[in-house]
Structure 1
Amino acid sequence: MRLGINIDHIATLRQARLGIEPEPIYAALIAQEALADNITMHLREDRRHIQENDCILVKNTIKIPLNLEMSIEEKIVNFALNLVPYQSTLVPEKRKELTTEGGLDVISNFEKLKEVIDKLHSKNILVSLFIDPDKKQIEAAKKLNADSIEIHTGEYANAPLSQKLQFANTIKDAAIFAKSLGLCVHAGHGLNYQNVSLIAKIKEIEELNIGHSIISRAVFCGLKEAIIQMKQIIEKARWLA
């Protein structure tokens, strides 16, 4: 199972004072050294953390893939077409939200998403859609010729312990269904050192993208060690599955 490291909150710390440190590029290089499989960055419309120059510097420096999380707003799409990341993950975005609150409504935004996906594919950029574990949304993603989906694990992460298995099984069913349609399956949002194991055991999921919990632990033990610890938990869960 691949592990993508989201480094947005390195930039959040920098932007708290609008200064020059800490620089996300250093986090990307440390993650690469810790054998992360990709770097994820979300260029938000309000530029609250990651900035365009961060994306350019990381893209031109790292040797592992860059996954650009993005809305379908025109200026963001045009930036992605010029940057040409390995993958773009299309996500819903609300200006006032603290973090992404749910999956894309692929069905309601089908035509606009088709236009954006076609443009990204014209540049040989892989496209993933961040969606809830809903079969109708997954079917729509397949019709749009998305390369993969990223299942939103937020409800699972926020559920009480007594309901964790129920939500994990919903995610598993969605992953099995998506895989049967020929989609690659990723997952992420709210995953941490305590709850990642149940999701990591789902063999149909090929990749997890995790940010906040790893950056939070890195404050106390360093980023490289925080990534290594997460990888060890995921590998153990995978082995026990």
Structure 2
Amino acid sequence: MPRLAVNVDHVATLREVKRTNVPDPVAAAAMVELAGADGVVVHLREDRRHTQDRDVRILRETTKTALMLEMAANSAMIAVALEIKPDLVTLVPEKREELTTEGGVDLNLHKDAVSDAVQALQKGGIPVGVCVDADLDQIKLAHRIHVNCVKIHTGTFCEADTSIRRSEAFKRIVNSAKVAYKLKLGVNAGHGLGYQTIQAFAGLSEIDEFSIGHSIIARAVFLGLDRAVREMIALIKEL
């Protein structure tokens, strides 16, 4: 069964709206673990718009499952990661004007910078993944720079406005996952996944882990975090 890693950035977003200390993403992380999640994901952005350094440092001490840190491939963030030692770093693109990560890293443009980051982090004992679009060339480039895994960006599939576009996007995800698996890369998937879209992945055994945040936190507003996580786990078990 694929693992579920829950992104708690949106808990931090709610906290930062009022510039207060609640709700605490550290407490949310503990709750998702108790509900059965296999890991916790946070994205420490350069502008610190939601998750803060304090959060990541405490999470490193308190997380009982796996702590996954998403970050840009620059020297400042590499230094933070080498200090904190998460269980996995996933390199992602960042634009200050975006609301959330809009796509994968373009390795055609940023191969050298990403490769340098991968080497530095792996030398420090940290496994490294890179978030890429569902594109075979990107998967192959990721393999060439010796990442441990890829995270296939599923946003185009989840946000498709017609059934044809959704079907085409899903085919690209399937093909990318299969190629990554053949190249012996770990295969994660995430961005925009929810309680309906996750069901499309039934039978796609190449995916090791789903990273899901917004839909779980949104459902938790009405049903509670424990139930929201357990319902997603139940759906993943059926895949």
**TM-score over 0.5 (shorter chain):** yes
Give the shorter-chain TM-score range. Answer: over 0.9
Q: What secondary structure is seen at the aligned counterpart in 1 of 2:188? A: strand
Where does residue 220 of structure 1 map in the other structure? 222
Name whichever of 23-32 and 196-205 sits farther off: 196-205
Contact 2:40 2:66 in 1 (8 A): yes
- 1:117-196 to structure 2, matched below 5 A, reads 117-160=118-161, 162-163=163-164, 164-196=166-198
CA distance in 1, matches of 2:108, 2:82: 24
CA–CA separation in structure 2 for the residues paired with 1:121 and 1:58: 21
* Poorly superposed stretches of 4+, deviation over 3 Å: none
CA distance in 1, matches of 2:54, 2:202: 33
SS in 2 for 1:78: helix
CA shift for structure 1 position 233: 1.2
Aligned residues: 237
- CA distance in 1 between counterparts of 2:229 and 2:202 reads 15
- Aligned-residue offset at 1:168: 1.4
Q: CA deviation at 1:200?
A: 4.6
1:89: which partner in 2? 90
- Structure 2, unmatched stretches of 5+, are none
Q: CA RMSD in A?
A: 1.0
TM-score between the two structures when normalised by the length of structure 2: 0.97
TM-score by length of 1: 0.96
Partners of 2:167 and 2:108 lie apart in 1 by: 28
Is contact 2:74-2:117 (8 Å) kept? no
Q: Following the alignment from structure 1 to structure 2, what is the Cα–Cα distance between the partners of residues 201 and 41?
A: 28
* Shift of residue 78, structure 1, vs aligned partner: 0.7
Find the aligned partners of 1:13 and 1:137 in 2 and give their Cα distance. 34
Quote the residue 1:43 is aligned against.
44
**Any unmatched runs of 5+ in structure 1?**
none
* 1:234 alignment partner, one of 222, 233, 236: 236
Taking only the aligned residue pairs, the percentage that are identical comes to 41
